[in-house]
Every structure is written in structure tokens, then in C-alpha cells.
Structure 1
Amino acid sequence: MPDKSKTIAVICGGLSPEADVSRLSASRITPCLEEHYGNVVHLELDATLGEQLIAHQVDVAFPVAHGPYGEDGRLQGLLDIMGVPYVGSGALASACSLDKVVTKRLLQPSGITMAKDRVVYRNESHEDAALDCIETLGHKVIIKPSGQGSGIGVQFAMGYEDLMGKLKTGLQMDDKLLVEEFITGREITAGVLHMDDYQVLPVTEITTPDGAWYDYVHRYTPGLSDHVIPARISDEQYRKVQEIALKAHQTLGCQDLSRSDFIVPETGEPVFAELNNLPGMTPTSLFPDGARHAGIPFDALICKLVDQALKRGENMRNGREYWPIPKLDIHQPL
């Protein structure tokens, strides 16, 4: 039951390329929070955030600051230091999840099927790296910034010359790029809602009316993408997607919610692509749609997440037993 006495801070914006999308998420969840809780404040992810959290005596934060700074553990670390409970994964899980390379390396020992890849760094020879990518990954590849979401900066390359040019462009923006073999299949996603127990949401297939890649514009423009629930894949693939989404959530140490993306070929194993540890809440976002098809209306979803964070805060304030620490006599002369 929502507590009307609580002050909820919706944190959005910041320096990320996804700042405008995060404000869109904030504008969608705010009316719900205002209806069910006593006081809701919008706070920008900027240098005044700490002061604002204190001034408003915030009881719980709902971060929707997608991408770098808001989703990579930095915001979460600040909230931890200030003792403000918040919705979503902690600092370590957030940092690992936003970095696509780290995510893949942590999940590989679990036997999860993933595309073959090569990480290319700014300080290495672009020519040698491009040649190595072509030899190990094939002539058609996908190039991804390691620490961005929403398809920002993703490029496709065909052949050596094309790849060379796109690596040079990408490495002007980022220190490292993840280059993967190109895999053909359906774009699939599955969310995990992590309350007292784990619930894997219905598997969603993403389609675009013009057959285009599901890029930034298609993600956030109403009418430029469709969510097909349940996804049109085999029963075995469906089960496997849900199994991997849960395993990824648990292995990376996520809490509250996450959404894992896949490419699922016509036959065979689903190929894990990445995990989103702070899924969007915009009108075209995938996680709320999956929750709705699981019988969880949007308002109920938002309240569940806030109440879970408040509960964590109560546990923090009540304190927990920890390993016994020997007492030190710090006044002894050296």
C-alpha cells in the first residue's frame, strides 16, 4: 500500500545522449506517483542533485536517467553514500550492465550463447583491428559503443574498407568499440521483475513497419515499431529466452528490474545481445508492455518498484548485524 507521507524524487536528464528520453520516462511515471504518494519532485542529474535531495528530504529516488552517469553506477553510488534508497540495481550491477563488453565477459562462463566479438580500442592500429575483425567475425559486422543504450552510435559495416571508416568514426567518440558478427533473426526481449521473488515477463518480439533496424528513432517515435506479445518463436526458444534473461539478471547482481535483448534465428539457440538494467518507462517502452501482458498495470508496476525501494530503505535504517570488528586503540603512540 503506497505511503502518502513519503517524498519521491524522480531523477532524470543529465549529460547522457539519452537525457531527453529519460525526461520522457519521468513525465510518464510522475502522474502515477503523484496519485499514490504524498509528494513528488523532479530532479535533474546535475551538480546540484545532492543539495536537492537534502533540501526536499527525499525518502526514495526513482532514477530514470538512462545511459552514462544515470545508469552506469555513478548515480547509484551517490545515492548509496547519501543513504537514499532507490529503484533499480546497485552501483556495481549498474556499472557492469551498461558496459556491453563487461556484461558479455561476465556471462560467458554461464554458457549463454552470444555473438562472436572483438573489442577495438582507440590506441591500437585501426587497420590491423579491421583486418582481424574481418578474419574472425566475417565480412558483415555490427559495431557498438560499449557504454551507450538505445541503439546510440550503433553502425553496420560490410567489408574491410567500410569497417575501417566506421571504426575511425566511432573511435573519435568512444575509447573502445564492441564489434560483433552479424546474426540474422528476430529482435526479441524479455524483462525480469524482481520483488520478493523473480518473475520473468512475457517474451516480446519487436517489429518495424518498414523493416528497418530498431534504432533510436524507431524506439521512441509512436507508430514506428510494434511489440508482438507473445513473440513468434518456438516454445523451446521462448523458454530459453526467459531462462537466459533470469540468469543474466542474477549473474550481474541486478535488483528490481531488468530487460535482456536477443536475436533469435529461425532455428537454434537465442543469441543474447545485452542487458538493460534500468529499462525505459516511455509510452513506447518495452518493459511496461511486458508487465501489462503479465497482468500488472502501469500504476501497479510503478508502485511495486517504489514500495520495494522503501522497504530496502527501512532495512538499511534498522541496521543489520555484520562481521565483528576488533576494537583498535587509535590513541596509542606510533
Structure 2
Amino acid sequence: MKILLIAGGWSTERDVSLNSSRIVEGVLRDAGHDVTFFDLLSGFDRLMEEARRHDFAFIGLHGAPGEDGLVQALLDAAGCPYQGAGPAGSFLALNKAAAKQIFRQAGLPTADWEFLPLPPPADWHPRLPYPLFVKSNTGGSSLRLGRAENRDELDKALAAIFTAGDAALLETELPGRELTCAVLGDEALPPLLIEPLAGSFFDYESKYAKGGARELCPAPITPEATARAQKLALEAHRALGLSGYSRTDFILGADDSLTLLEVNTLPGMTATSLVPQEAAAAGLSFAQLLERLMELGRARRRS
């Protein structure tokens, strides 16, 4: 099969995308596919033209464009199938403030939040109690994720986000451990428990530094918590109108309560990334996972 592997782009996660896509390229070539490595940064104006020359587009992007649905919309217009969610679901999942509204309306447990699209006025005070987590509203890979215990720390975290041109999302800190659960097709995979070692929470350093975190899959949690995480991951996936696959992140409380943080529609894709680890726990090799994603993408296009 002729595959257009779309990588790079121009988001802050460009390097992550290039590195992981090279790994995907090797696995696809080993499986006998004819792969064109396509850096979106230099090739954006040729995307539809190239897509029409290929049987399938494998999206290896992180951040926007890619997770915002733009590339998916162009591929739809070109008639080229791809893995994962369509344009609308991708956009809604990437925008944390929008996704949390959908979760709340669907009755899914998500932390209270405050959305700041612009720097607030001088007399502003957060509605939520400290400590606060400060997030880029559309950023990924835990970039510019900060924790603030007071106003000075909050202002510094907000300044970094607004300087980068993004909006901010505030959430009250929730005690517990970080848990993630992927959906593949119509089934939830075994959840994975994350234990940061390089810091107190799963920030960029913990995610990508060697030895930054311990990742345990299947998660050593109760069968009841496992079943509930899988149920909520499926419900979040469906509430956002996603297809193919996704990965939902939670906080697991000491009482086994689960609070939904966000859903990722283009999760990391190396053999040691979170979703491939969960797929391996379900009996799928990395190569089999990639083939399954392409199978699901082609089926979505046919329907």
C-alpha cells in the first residue's frame, strides 16, 4: 500500500512528531508498504496533491496542525483515508475548554475549570482555590503545564502561555495518581498507570526524559477501577464523536474515583509510547497496532 506519512508540521511538538514518525516509517516499510515521508512544514501547499497519489495517509503530527482537524479536513477533501478522528472530533478534543463542556453535558466526571482566552485584567482573581494547574488550552505533550500555589506563580505560568499565543485553562489540583486508557475501534484497552519520577506530576520532562516516569501496564489497580476507566474512556471517545482510536487521561483518587482530564486524538506512536504499551498488553504488537489503525481508517472512509 502507498502510504503518505505526514510528520513534523510547525507546532511546538514538531521534534516529537519527526522522531516518532521515523520509527513508524521503519515499521511500515518492514511490513512491505511503500512509504513517503512528508514533512508538512515544507510541503503543506502540496498536501492534497500528494494525498491523491497515495492509498492512505498516516498522520504522525502532534499539536496543531494535525490535532486541530485541519489536516483531516484536507485529506477528506482529497478523498484519502487516514487513521483516527475526523475534523470536528479532532478540533473539539484539542480545545480543552470545549471538550470539558462536552464531558460535563455528557455526565462525565471532569475537574472544575476556568477558561482564560486573554490575559485577565489587573483586578482579576481566579474563581478556583489554590493550588492550581495551569495549562495551555490547545497545547499537548504537557508543554507549558504549570502548578501554582499563589498569585505570583500563577501570573508567571499564565505569562508563558499568553506569550506563546495560546489561551489558558485553570484547574484545581486533584490528589491522586495519573491513569490513562486508550480506545481502539470499539473497545477500551488495558489502562496504564503513570508514576512520575522526575517531578511531582507528569510534565514535559517526566514524559520525555529518560527515567522521567514509571509506566505500569496493565495498571496495578482494582478490577472495578479498571472497568470504570475503560467505560469512561469509551464514553468520552463517543461524546466527542471520535473514531479509530484515542487516549483518555484521568486522575485516580485514593478512593478509586476517576476524574477525566483530557482526550488525545493523535497519541504518541512509538513502540514504547502509552497507547502501544496498552495495545501490547491486549496482545497486539506495534506493527499489528499500526495495521489495525489503517484498517479502521479505511473502513471509516468506506462508510
TM-score, scaled relative to structure 1: 0.85
Check conservation: 1:59, 1:85, Cα contact below 8 A. Answer: yes
In structure 2, the residue matched to 1:67 is 63
In structure 1, the residue matched to 2:147 is 156
Equivalents in 2 of 1:169, 1:9: separation in Å?
Answer: 35
CA RMSD between the two structures:
1.9
Q: Which has the larger Rg? A: 1
Equivalents in 1 of 2:270, 2:209: separation in Å?
Answer: 10
In structure 1, the residue matched to 2:115 is 119
Equivalents in 2 of 1:143, 1:122: separation in Å?
Answer: 14
The one-letter code matched in structure 2 to 1:229 is C
User: Identity percentage over the alignment?
Assistant: 31
The answer to whether the aligner puts 1:106 opposite 2:102 as a matched pair is yes
In structure 2, the residue matched to 1:44 is 39
- Of residues 159, 164, 181, the one that matches 1:168 is 159
Equivalents in 1 of 2:47, 2:256: separation in Å?
Answer: 51
The answer to whether the aligner puts 1:142 opposite 2:138 as a matched pair is no
Residues 174 and 127 of structure 1: CA distance in aligned 2, closer, same or farther (over 3 Å): farther
- Of residues 302, 306, 321, the one that matches 2:290 is 302
Check conservation: 2:138, 2:167, Cα contact below 8 A. Answer: no
Equivalents in 2 of 1:151, 1:246: separation in Å?
Answer: 23
Shift of 1:283: 4.3
Q: How does 1:1-334 map to 2 (within 5 A)?
A: 6-46=1-41, 48-51=43-46, 54-55=49-50, 57-122=53-118, 124-128=120-124, 131=125, 133=126, 136-194=127-185, 198-313=186-301, 315=302
Aligned residues: 302
Structure 2 unaligned regions, length at least 5: none
Shift of 1:78: 1.1
Equivalents in 1 of 2:24, 2:279: separation in Å?
Answer: 15
Matched position secondary structure for 2:38: strand
Q: Deviation digits for residues 269-326 of structure 1, max 9, x if unmatched?
A: 201000001111124410000000001111111111112323444x27xxxxxxxxxx
Shift of 1:241: 1.1
Check conservation: 2:4, 2:58, Cα contact below 8 A. Answer: yes
Structure 1 unaligned regions, length at least 5: 1-5, 317-334
Shift of 1:50: 4.9
Matched position secondary structure for 2:178: strand
